[in-house]
Amino acid sequence: VSKPVYSRDTGGPIAFRFRSDNVAPVSAEILHALANANHGTAAPYGNDEWTALLQRRFSELFEREVDVFPVATGTAANALSVASIARPWGGIYCHELAHIHKTEGGATEAFTGGAKLVALPGRDCKLDPSALTEAVLRAERGARYAPQPDAVSITQASEHGTVYTLEEIAAIGKCARDAAIQVHMDGARFANSLVTLGCPPAEATWRRGVDILSFGATKNGGMAADAIVVFNRTLAEPLSYWLRRAGQTWSKMRFAAAQLIAYIEDDLYLRLASKANARAKRLGQGLAALPGVRLVAPVQANLVLAEMPEPAIELLVAAGVRFARYPGSVIRLVTHFDCTESEVDEFIGLARRSIASAAGDSEDEQ
Ligand SMILES: Cc1ncc(COP(=O)(O)O)c(C=O)c1O
């Protein structure tokens, strides 16, 4: 039987490299940790020694006792975190472009039993605390026909790759406390945001009012494991039931736990995210210097949103490059820990040539 061959370039020259951080491989350290966990037997459903160690390691990392629950996906982390807070008649405030609102197929609504997402505006894809305050004030508490405020969810780093400052997180936290609602943070790219903030994880979460965190790992070197980190420990019990109902109580939990332990050991998560962020910075700077290109948002994590002449985008697509496209001739490029500088430069070169030849084409037409 011949072994399968996995080539770094099976997707074409740079076809999928900036499509998403989900295209990235697994970090060597995490693969190694999986191999190390792969001996003998271990109790199932999280009653094993790796999962116990995971609780201790995350409690050390966050400088307080936390409850940690591995899950398979970021969507599960978000939907089940919010389900542990919100009542079926509850209202969950989020940015109008939030992943839970736009891109998770209604998972949060489904797992809360029908709670309503209330989408709010905010610059640079970040929820504006004053919009939140106003919405909470407008909520008709006690009215049976209106969603009852239960939670606010913010995405760190945001869907546009911007990062909430500590003051901004604190402002959301204060507003939530005043309104007696709880704060969920979608941290699918939490490591990338932490690198930018340059502070310990506790400072960017519970010390600023975050009650529960979707702690991403898969996009940043994990194989298939994210975690829910619970700071407000009253949420841990309902969450444990939700996890089971959602099929997220892994039978072979040790392998999820082993990934997450390795992910934070010796700050691996930050080292991997720093690389991704540095590549995004380089990509953003290179693209911004091209004629007709404008960055839609500051590059503060591992995402670059660039507005580009439409014909040039078409040429990139025709060349086989894949990326998310947004209205208004905007493309989204995502870097990850395994992106090299030369891949970034290759993309910038291709974009430069596409813009030049698109401009040449339109001049021919005049
Ligand atoms: C901000 C954000 N949150 C959550 C998710 C969901 O992660 P998953 O695709 O693993 O369900 C994503 C995935 O792209 C994301 O970008």
Taking the C-alpha atoms of residue 209 and residue 195, their distance in angstroms, rounded to an integer, is 20
Name the residue among 333, 223, 198 with its Cα closest to residue 273.
Answer: 198
Q: Which atom of ligand 1 is nearest to the CA of 20?
A: 14
Name the residue among 85, 88, 173 with its Cα closest to residue 127.
Answer: 173
pLDDT by residue, tens only, the chain of 366 residues: 444 444 444 445 577 889 999 999 999 999 999 999 999 999 999 999 999 999 999 999 999 999 999 999 999 999 999 999 999 999 999 999 999 999 999 999 999 999 999 999 999 999 999 999 999 999 999 999 999 999 999 999 999 999 999 999 999 999 999 999 999 999 999 999 999 999 999 999 999 999 999 999 999 999 999 999 999 999 999 999 999 999 999 999 999 999 999 999 999 999 999 999 999 999 999 999 999 999 999 999 999 999 999 999 999 999 889 899 999 999 999 999 999 999 999 999 999 999 999 998 554 443
Name residues whose C-beta falls within 8 Å of residue 289's C-beta, 6 or more positions apart in sequence. none
Q: Which residues line ligand 1 (CB under 6 A)?
A: 73-75, 78, 99, 155, 159, 186, 188, 218
> What separation in Å is there between the alpha carbon of 216 and the centre of ligand 1?
8
Q: Whose CA is nearest to atom 4 of ligand 1?
A: 74
Taking the C-alpha atoms of residue 195 and residue 5, their distance in angstroms, rounded to an integer, is 35
Please tell me the pTM assigned to this model.
0.95
Q: Whose CA is nearest to atom 8 of ligand 1?
A: 74
**Of 125, 158, 219, best ligand 1 pocket probe by most atoms within 8 Å of the beta carbon:** 219
Q: Which atom of ligand 1 is nearest to the CA of 74?
A: 7
For residue 115, the model assigns a pLDDT of: 98
For residue 320, the model assigns a pLDDT of: 87
Taking the C-alpha atoms of residue 91 and residue 84, their distance in angstroms, rounded to an integer, is 13
Q: Whose CA is nearest to atom 5 of ligand 1?
A: 74
Strands 116-120 and 90-95: parallel
- In the block, residue with structure tokens 């998972």: 107
For residue 16, the model assigns a pLDDT of: 81
Taking the C-alpha atoms of residue 221 and residue 358, their distance in angstroms, rounded to an integer, is 37
Q: How many CB atoms lie within 10 A of CB 140?
A: 11
> What separation in Å is there between the alpha carbon of 237 and the centre of ligand 1?
24
Class of residue 155 by CB neighbours under 10 A (exposed 0-12, middle 13-18, buried 19+)? buried
Taking the C-alpha atoms of residue 103 and residue 63, their distance in angstroms, rounded to an integer, is 33
Taking the C-alpha atoms of residue 232 and residue 208, their distance in angstroms, rounded to an integer, is 13
> What separation in Å is there between the alpha carbon of 239 and the centre of ligand 1?
19
